[in-house]
Structure 1
Amino acid sequence: MAAERAGVILAAGASQRMGTPKALLAWGNTTLLDHALQQARTAGVEHLVVVLGPATRHLRLDALIVFNPDPASGRSASIRLASQALEDGVRSVLVQSVDQPVAADVIVALFEAIERGSDIAVPVYQGRRGHPICVAGSLLTELRDVNEEAEGLRSVVRRHAARLVEVPVDAESVTWNLNDPAAYAAAAARGVVQP
C-alpha cells in the first residue's frame, strides 16, 4: 500500500555560492538535511526520498536516497528522479529544498490542505508566498515529467492554479532562501526553526 504522505528533499545542488554543501550546514544542534528529515517525520511523512549529488553522495540516511549525477542540469531533474522513486497511489507529496528550513507545523498545514481537496498547497507569510510546496498524489505523473525547459515545477503550479490554495502560516522561515553565506547567517541569527 502506498504511503499517505510522501516527502521529497532536494539536496543535490553544488552549493557553489555557499562554498560547502548546504545539506551539511549546521542548523541548531544538527544539519539542514537532518532538520528537514526530522521535521518531515514529525509531520507524519511516511515515505521520504532524498536527492543527493556528487558532494553529498557519501551520506547514509534513514530515507530512500536517489542520486543525481548532474545537479547542474537543474532542480527539475532532481524532482523528476525523486518522483520516479515514489509509489503510485501516494496521497500527497511535499517538495522541499534542503536550504529552506521549516517547522513540522507548516508541513502539517500543507498536507491538511491537500487532504481537504486542493491539488497544490503553498505557505503564505504576511502576504508572501513561500515554500515548501505540497501537491496531490494525482499530480505525481506530472512531477515525473518536469523539466527546466518548461519551467519545471512552476509549470505544474500554473496548470493547476485554480486548485491551488495558499495556506497562511506564522512562520517567516517559509520565505527564506539560504543561497549564500549572508542569507544563511541572517536566517541563523533569527533563530532555528523548531517544531
Structure 2
Amino acid sequence: MTIGRRGIETVIVAAGLSRRMGKVNKLLLPVAGLPMVRRVAACHARLADRVILVTGFDHAAITEAVFDLDVVVVYNPEFATGQAGSIAIGVAAATLAGRGLMIALADQPNLTLEDLEALVDAFDADDASRVCVPTYLGQRGNPLLFPTALVREMRHDGRAPGCRRFIDANPQLVLNYSAPNDHFTTDVDTPSDAHNILGVFVSDLENEG
C-alpha cells in the first residue's frame, strides 16, 4: 500500500441492528439526499488512505449504498453479538501500514473533513504517540485515532482497540482533543435523533415502506 499525505487508515463500523430506530435502518436515512452511511464513508474516504467498512445487518443495502466509493467492505457474520466484534473484524482487515488507525461509527452525519483533519492535527502534534480521543464539553466522542504501533501490539495480543475499557484503564496512553463543536459527540440512534439532527420523520418512512 502506498501511504498518502496523512498515513491514516480508517475502520467504520456499519454492522448494527439499528433497533432503536424501529423498522427503519438508520444508516440508510437520507442526509442531503444521500444514505447516511454513504455520506459518512465518503467523508472518511477524503481523509484516509484506506477505508474499511464493516457491515452486518442489512449487508446488501449498506453495500449498495457505497458501491462506487473507494472503500473496502468487510462482512461480520456475527454482527448481532455487538460492536466489539465488528471492530475486531475491521482491525483484522487493516494493513496497519500507516501512522494511525481511526475507529469510526457510521451514524455521525455531522462530521466534516475539517473535523477529521483537526483530530489528525492534534494526533500529529503529539507525535502520533497516544490514542487521540475527541471531546466536547467534557463528553467523549468518536472516532478514536490510534497509533499504528499500539494497534499492532494489541492485535498481536488478541485485543481489539476502540473499547471504552481500554481507554479508561490506560489514561497515560490517551490524548484528549477538545473539539470546537458537537460533531464528534452527535450520533443518530432514535426517531427523535433523526428528526432533530436530520430533519427526517421516521414514521413517514415506515408508512412509505
- TM-score of the two chains, using structure 2 as the length reference: 0.79
SS in 2 for 1:57: helix
Q: Tell me which moved more, 136-145 or 70-79.
A: 136-145
Of 156, 168, 189, the residue aligned with 1:179 is 189
Encode CA deviations 1:10-50: one digit per residue, 9 max, x unaligned. Answer: 101111221222221111221211111221123x2010000
The equivalent residue for 1:130 is 141
Q: Determine what percentage of the aligned residue pairs are the same residue.
A: 24
Residue 106 of structure 2 aligns with an amino acid whose one-letter code is V
The equivalent residue for 1:106 is 115
Q: Report matched runs for 1:83-122 at 5 Å.
A: 83-101=91-109, 102-116=111-125, 117=127, 118-122=129-133
Aligned CA RMSD, in angstroms, stands at 2.2
The equivalent residue for 1:23 is 27
- TM-score of the two chains, using structure 1 as the length reference: 0.84
Are the structure 2 counterparts of residues 143 and 20 from structure 1 closer, same or farther at C-alpha, using a change threshold of 3 Å? Answer: farther
Q: In structure 2, how many angstroms separate the alpha carbons of the residues matched to 1:90 and 1:159?
A: 25
The equivalent residue for 2:205 is none
SS in 2 for 1:108: helix
Q: Which 5+ residue runs of structure 1 have no aligned equivalent?
A: 190-195
Tell me, yes or no, if the aligned pair for 1:11 and 1:22 is still in contact at 8 Å: no
Are the structure 2 counterparts of residues 97 and 173 from structure 1 closer, same or farther at C-alpha, using a change threshold of 3 Å? Answer: same
2:73 is the counterpart of 1:65: yes
Q: CA deviation at 1:152?
A: 6.2
Q: CA deviation at 1:76?
A: 0.8
Encode CA deviations 1:31-79: one digit per residue, 9 max, x unaligned. Answer: 211111221123x201000001141235234311110112111111111
Tell me, yes or no, if the aligned pair for 1:119 and 1:136 is still in contact at 8 Å: yes
Q: In structure 1, how many angstroms separate the alpha carbons of the residues matched to 2:140 and 2:11?
A: 19
Tell me, yes or no, if the aligned pair for 1:79 and 1:146 is still in contact at 8 Å: no
Q: In structure 1, how many angstroms separate the alpha carbons of the residues matched to 2:164 and 2:12?
A: 17
Runs (4+) of structure 1 moved beyond 4 Å? none
Q: CA deviation at 1:180?
A: 1.1
Q: CA deviation at 1:159?
A: 4.2
2:52 is the counterpart of 1:49: yes
Encode CA deviations 1:63-110: one digit per residue, 9 max, x unaligned. Answer: 111101121111111110001111133211111111123111221122
Tell me, yes or no, if the aligned pair for 1:8 and 1:94 is still in contact at 8 Å: yes
The equivalent residue for 1:36 is 40
Tell me, yes or no, if the aligned pair for 2:45 and 2:71 is still in contact at 8 Å: no
Q: In structure 2, how many angstroms separate the alpha carbons of the residues matched to 1:158 and 1:173?
A: 22
2:8 is the counterpart of 1:5: yes
SS in 1 for 2:58: coil
Are the structure 2 counterparts of residues 180 and 143 from structure 1 closer, same or farther at C-alpha, using a change threshold of 3 Å? Answer: farther
Q: Report matched runs for 1:144-183 at 5 Å.
A: 145-146=158-159, 153-183=163-193
Tell me, yes or no, if the aligned pair for 2:188 and 2:197 is still in contact at 8 Å: yes
Encode CA deviations 1:114-169: one digit per residue, 9 max, x unaligned. Answer: 2232421121223322111111111223267346xxx9612332343213112122
Residue 31 of structure 2 aligns with an amino acid whose one-letter code is W
